[in-house]
Structure 1
Amino acid sequence: MFGTARNNANTYATVGMETGVVAANPHKLIVMLFDGAKAAVTNAMQQMNNGETAAKGRAISQAIAIIDSGLRASLDKTAGGEIAVSLDALYEYMSNRLLMANLNNDPATLEEVSNLLSQLRDAWEAIGSPASAAPVQTISVQDPFMPRANSFVRA
């Protein structure tokens, strides 16, 4: 009647993830894509170790989809220049390696891609940390109906 505890937990996790996506800034969304791809690769490793071929294939397909349709698709090669082109090539390499890991049942290749995703995620996280961001100037907002002196705030 009410469903299993596992289904309820999955629903709760999905709602939490969707809420995180809605509330996230573009930088955080990329971090979430890295996290999702890494989680899918980790799942694929577990399924490979358990001999669950179909589940392994689904997890690898999910990782490839996140890399190709999320990370790769978000690149702006015009604005991003050489870095975006290099990332595009790296994402293509990772997708190809995941395909080969699936075909050859190779956990070492999954580990290689997992390490690449971790390094990229850590670098992306570092460039978006508050310590690396420029200081933000705050401007106080006053009630528009309250009298005030003639002064202009320039940002």
Structure 2
Amino acid sequence: MNSYSAVQHYSSVKVHSSVETASPHRLIQMLFEGALERIAQAKGAMAQNQIARKGELIGKAVAIVGGLQGSLNDKEGGALATNLDDLYDYIIRRLTQANYENNPEYLDECGRLLGEIKTAWDTISNHV
């Protein structure tokens, strides 16, 4: 096993154990962090004209946002859950458009939107 593979394996084990011990609130934070990281990486891949890598990273970001969307509770969340569902749907469409049009501004927009939601989510952790 080369050093890169060892680091990847360690990171995978570390993330897996973090997920197992995380609270539901922390799991959502981790999803936000993962989506924002993939978007930033996709923007870098886009700048370096790494088309396949960009598509892979945007695909991962879309999947994570889909996970956030799937975690919404319509019954308890009411109008807020409905609005977040619509916003996540918009972000997914915009990420897809960023990939198709190779437009980093769309990635920036998605990052800003997710960053704002994450900030609000982080704030409520003190009240849960």
Normalising by structure 2, what TM-score?
A: 0.97
2:72 aligned counterpart, secondary structure = coil
Aligned to 2:105: 108
Matched to 1:7, the amino acid is S
Which residue of 2 is the match for residue 30 of structure 1? 28
Alignment of 1:10-89 (within 5 A): 10-68=8-66, 70-89=67-86
Which residue of 1 is the match for residue 119 of structure 2?
Answer: 122
Structure 1 segments, 4+ long, off by >6 Å, are none
Secondary structure at 1:128's aligned position in 2? helix
1:98 aligns with 2:90: no
Matches of 1:37 and 1:119, distance apart in 2 = 13
**C-alpha RMSD over aligned residues:** 0.8
Consecutive unaligned residues of structure 2, counting only runs of 5 or more, are: none
* SS, match of residue 78 in structure 2: helix
Amino acid across the alignment from 1:16? K
The one-character-per-residue Cα deviations of 1:120-143 (angstroms, maximum 9, x if unpaired) are 1111010012xx34xxxxxxxxxx
Counterpart of 2:5 in structure 1: which amino acid? N
Q: CA deviation at 1:87?
A: 0.4
- Structure 1 gaps of 5+ residues are 134-155
Instruction: Count residues in correspondence.
Output: 128
Q: CA deviation at 1:4?
A: 1.2
